[in-house]
Structure 1
Amino acid sequence: MEKTDVLPRDAQSILELAARSMFDLFANASEGMLLVDRQGKVVWINEQYKRFLPALGYARVEDFVGHPVSSVVHNTQLHHVLETGKPILIDLLSNRAGTFGVSRIPLRDSSGEVIGALGIVLFDHPETNLQPLINKFAALQRELDEARRELASQRSSGQRRAKYTFASFVGGSPAVVELKRLARRAAQSGSPVLLLGETGSGKELLAHAIHAVSSHPNGPFVTVNIAAVPDTLLEAEFFGVAPGAYTGAERKGRDGKLKLADGGTLFLDEIGDMPPGLQAKLLRALQEGEFEPLGSNRLLRFEAKVIAATSRDLVRLVREGKFREDLYYRLNVLPIRVPPLRERRSDIPALVEALGEELAQRSGLPQPEYTPEAMDLLAAQLWRGNVRELRNVLEQAALLGDSSRIDGERITRVLRETGIEQLEAPLSAAAPARVAPEGGVRPLAEQVAELERSAIATALTACGGNKVAAARMLGISRATLYERLDANVLN
């Protein structure tokens, strides 16, 4: 019992001695020390610290001691130590007096409460005292900067992961279901894929989706928009440039899109705009799986899935001699036609909802709500610019008024101001009956179609233009109703 009573007293004595020794050590060996109380007011500085006062702008000690530390020491963090109770063992402090290596330690009473903090200036020439650390930090910073430059180079050159999947291609119409089926089959093949479709129909989105379910979804997805690159730069864009290949070339050289796409997917957007002189070189690269950078005699190999897309008539370009026939057949292994929006009108309500959500997330505006009349007008357009044009109209309509409820009047105003061509008759109007030939009976199909148009128009009128209610009244699905409306308008 007596032994256990002695040990705590000895331990306490040792702790007190250690505390005094450490304090004396720092007070004598450091470049300066100061103490602040619980309120952050400076209560003491040692002799070494006094030499910093003139540089800090204080002629007398009393002008410094007794004042809040945050008001007399610029950039100090001692108030954070008081608030958190956690030490900052080593840090760099810069102010009018210079740059210093410092340490900040909270002081506690016997109950563990923070009653103040000790600030220690460890050294006043960090560039000398911390040279090994500075060298290591500089090396790490160089590596980080190099990695950032490489990442920026990859982004600027189009190297990235796929941003979209098949779920991003909104629609459940028969045309879209068949499109996705063909695209999924194409993704599992190593053969080139040719996407044919009008501008704004979703060819690039579909290319991303094909890459995402291919055998190399984690590989790079590299895009070359041929129409956006000047003809004089396309060869370097595709094949890259060897170091010092020509005057003004980068000293380290530059990788082309073929090299960047190795192990992934190469998406050739607007392939129909490729100049004839480059078509032969691209054909050879695709056939042989190898190419030479500009200014180099060294062959580089690459293996990538090739997806080409165009809104132009390649067959006509081949006939006119503007597109190589052999390159056309090389790319036309798995052709997929992307239907225009006017051929899948039943997808418009789902597209409007998806685009509205996208707009709300991007702009911070409330989710738009469309009246039945507004939806009818949107479904009745020709949409020559397809989904891209639809997105533009929806965004204009959302920004045009203060209310998130978008009615037919607002849609009409946007359509009129943008000059978008509208169909002559609204979808809810029954088409005029066709007159039978004199003395004859009209074909049964015509009579059935006329009866169907009349029934649909009656249901829409009874339901105030609400297609969901009209479809329910007619006993058909909403998709079937939109298909019937499409047929009645387009035929």
Structure 2
Amino acid sequence: MFESDGTGGLGGGSADGSGGAFQVGADMLRGRAMPSLFEALDKQSEGTVAVDRDARVIWINAKYARMLGIPDPAEAIGREVEEIIPNSQMRQVVTSGQPILLDLMLFGTQRLVVSRFPLTDDSGTIIGAVGFVLYDSLHRLKPLLAELSRLEAELAATKRRLDERRQPRYTLQSYVGDSPASLEVKRKARLAARTDAPILLLGETGTGKELIAQAIHGLSARTGRPFVGVNVAAIPDTLLEAEFFGAVPGAYTGLDRRGREGRFKTADGGTLFLDEIGDMPMGLQAKLLRALQEQEIEPLGSDRPVKVDVRVIAATNVDLERRIQDGRFRSDLYYRLNVLPIRLPSLSELGSGLEAIAESILQEIAARTGLPGRGLTHEAVEALSRHPWPGNVRELRNVLERACLLTDNLRLTVEDLAEALPGVRHATGAPPARPVSEQSIHTIEPSTALPGQPAGTPLDYAAAYDGFERDLLGRALAASGGRAEAAARLLGISRAAFYKKMARLGLRAR
């Protein structure tokens, strides 16, 4: 028993012996706590069993015996634990001396939540083990299991989103155009997909370099593996090395204690696309050259190289040979990257191929935004062809989307484009559009009625234009003997554009 010392504390003698009295009290409390804890666990659990050092049952409570189908607990004493509990891990606890906490044990069709602890003597020698069936069903753990399931679902969803982002969004069919320059790009891309050699994509900004890089990855043997793109110019020089090659924990202040993986490691087995490679600092170019030659990287803060299997596709819109002369780019890295160069033509070089690209962009805008599908008048196509397009396809997409937002016309005119790109009107000298009355929109004059339509039939603009275009394409097909390619030449449009119009209008070639 503990005695009060009159001060609210615990005491058992004089002030000089207070330390010894406290130790005696602590020992008594500990001695009582152990059996009390065991009794509490035994009372609260669904079953308790103890085994000796040979994993033979030395005690089992009545609840556990009944659960196991044993009428009298004494029948289990002296038997090996696996005889009465087939999936028991008690022998493993005795052998290893390590506890097994919150384990799931299958017993028939039941899943039991169990914990197992080794028992030792005063010298620390393992003399047996004790196990507790904490729950005879999982329903009591529903809150814990629900939280675990939620976290696992979030982890799986995050991993899925990351995997989706690392898969190519574009194929070679996404590179629209049938001009000789476009066909040459596609031919070289197919050749490049057959090997793992580095590729250097050359061209102005907005010409589709990343699109071609993704297409090559999708055609290669690495399809299905990660495609990781990084814009070299968008990353501060101080972070580039860690961003590319990773960093070990503690490599620099503020780094996560788990370290950093790096883009090369993320792309392992797949393709790493390095955009604007001409802006890479000289110091990092040497490490990139080594990674390309040796297929190994050295994370920041580590002296141990890490093997990687990465195919590198680089892209630039600058003259790398000029940068070599200026001392801003390593010649050895240039020759290593320039194994298979592919030059992408600018929009102004595509000539008649611009119309097919514009129509493809308009279809994409309609699908993405929910806006009505749009087309282009012949004058609008000519106006677009005369514009220099310094931003190439990226600029064209911007102009077309802006025009779609600023007008309700289903066929974009020069005036519609001029609202989105004022220079178009001045470049073409196109006359201003004549004002159109509401009556003229909804009523077709007898002289302009469509074949098979009575004069004065109310018709909206889209239907009227479709009828006119169907008649025009039909006459072109008739004049060219039913050959679509010849009919397209006759009308002065691309073959791809002609086929798209035929599909939309329900026409067929012979």
TM-score, scaled to structure 2: 0.57
SS of structure 2 residue aligned to 1:336: strand
Kept after mapping to 2: 8 A contact 1:382/1:422: no
Distance in 2 (CA, whole Å) between partners of 1:208 and 1:471 is 38
How many Å separate the matches in 2 of 1:164 and 1:215? 16
Partner of 1:386: 392
Residue of structure 2 in register with 1:311 after alignment: 317
Per the alignment, residue 249 of structure 2 pairs with 243
Instruction: Return closer, same or farther for 1:380/1:479 CA change in 2, 3 Å cut-off.
Output: farther
Which string of whole-angstrom CA distances, capped at 9 and with x for unpartnered residues, describes residues 164-200 of structure 1?
A: 0010000111111111001100111110010000000
Identify the match of residue 340 of structure 1 among 330, 346, 354.
346
Deviation string 1:40-89 (CA, Å, 9 cap, x unpaired) is xxxxxxxxxxxxxxxxxxxxxxxxxxxxxxxxxxxxxxxxxxxxxxxxxx
Q: Out of 135-144 and 383-392, give the one that drifted further.
A: 135-144
Question: Conserved in 2, the CA contact under 8 Å of 1:173 and 1:479?
Answer: no
Distance 2:425 2:233 in 1: 27
Name the aligned partner's letter for residue 350 of structure 1: A
Q: Structure 1 residue 424: deviation in Å?
A: 6.5
The residue aligned with 1:134 is 143
Percentage identity across paired residues of the two chains: 50
What SS does structure 1 have at the residue aligned with 2:313?
Answer: strand
Give the superposition deviation at 1:346: 1.6
Structure 1 window deviating more from structure 2 (181-190 vs 472-481): it is 472-481
Separation in structure 2 between the aligned mates of residue 470 and residue 340 of structure 1, nearest angstrom: 34
Given the superposition, is the C-alpha separation of residues 421 and 342 from structure 1 closer, same or farther in structure 2, using an over 3 Å criterion?
A: farther
Evaluate the alpha carbon distance shift between residue 470 and residue 268 of structure 1 in structure 2; reply closer, same or farther with a 3 A threshold: farther
SS of the aligned residue for 2:244 comes to helix
C-alpha spacing 1:130/1:482, structure 2 compared with 1 (3 Å): closer
Q: How many Å separate the matches in 2 of 1:405 and 1:243?
A: 59
- Whether 2:299 is the aligned partner of 1:293: answer yes
Question: How far has the Cα of 1:473 moved from its partner?
Answer: 11
Q: How far apart are residue 289 of structure 1 and its match?
A: 0.5
Superposed CA deviations along residues 367-405 of structure 1, whole A, max 9, x for unmatched, are 013222112211221111111111111111111123333
C-alpha separation between the residues in 2 aligned to 1:284 and 1:374? 51
2:374 is matched by which residue type in structure 1? P
Classify 1:153/1:351 alpha carbon distance in 2 versus 1 (closer, same or farther; 3 Å).
closer
Structure 1 stretch displaced more, 362-371 or 201-210: 362-371
1:309 is paired with a residue whose SS is strand
Aligned length: 314
1:193 partner amino acid: I
Whole-angstrom CA distance in 2 between matches of 1:131 and 1:349 = 66
Q: 1:254 aligns with which of 234, 253, 260?
A: 260
Q: Secondary structure at the match of 2:274?
A: strand
Distance 2:489 2:274 in 1: 34
CA distance in 2, matches of 1:349, 1:415: 17
The answer as to whether partners of 2:418 and 2:425 remain within 8 angstroms in 1 is no
The answer to which of 406-415 and 164-173 deviates more is 406-415
Is 1:404 matched up with 2:410? yes
Query: What is the match of residue 367 of structure 1?
Result: 373
Correspondence for 1:206: 212
Query: Which runs of structure 2 are paired with 1:60-99 in the superposition (5 Å)?
Result: none
**Residues 383 and 424 of structure 2 are in contact (CA less than 8 Å); yes or no, is this contact kept in structure 1?**
no
Q: Are 2:271 and 1:265 equivalent residues in the alignment?
A: yes
Write the distance in 1 (CA, Å) between the matches of 2:389 and 2:194.
32
Contact 1:195–1:337 (CA under 8 A) maintained in structure 2: yes
Query: Within 1, Cα distance between the matches of 2:258 and 2:224?
Result: 27
**Which stretch of structure 1 is more off in the superposition, 166-175 or 374-383?**
374-383
Question: Which sections of structure 1, spanning at least 5 residues, go unmatched?
Answer: 1-127, 427-462, 484-491
1:489 aligns to what? none
* Whole-angstrom CA distance in 1 between matches of 2:475 and 2:324: 49
2:268 equivalent to 1:276: no
Give the letter aligned to residue 222 of structure 2.
H
Q: Which amino acid aligns with 1:135?
A: L
The structure-2 alpha-carbon separation of the partners of 1:322 and 1:154, relative to structure 1 and needing over 3 Å to count, comes to farther
Confirm or deny that 1:222 pairs with 2:222: no
How far 1:353 moved relative to its partner?
1.2
- 1:479 Cα shift? 5.7
Report the TM-score, using the length of structure 1 for normalisation.
0.59
SS of residue in 2 equivalent to 1:348: helix
State the Cα RMSD in Å. Answer: 3.0
Partner of 1:352: 358
Residue 10 of structure 1 corresponds to none
Say if 1:410 and 1:142 are closer, same or farther in 2 by CA, change over 3 A.
closer
For structure 2, list consecutive stretches of 5 or more residues without a partner in the other structure.
Answer: 1-136, 431-467, 481-485, 495-510
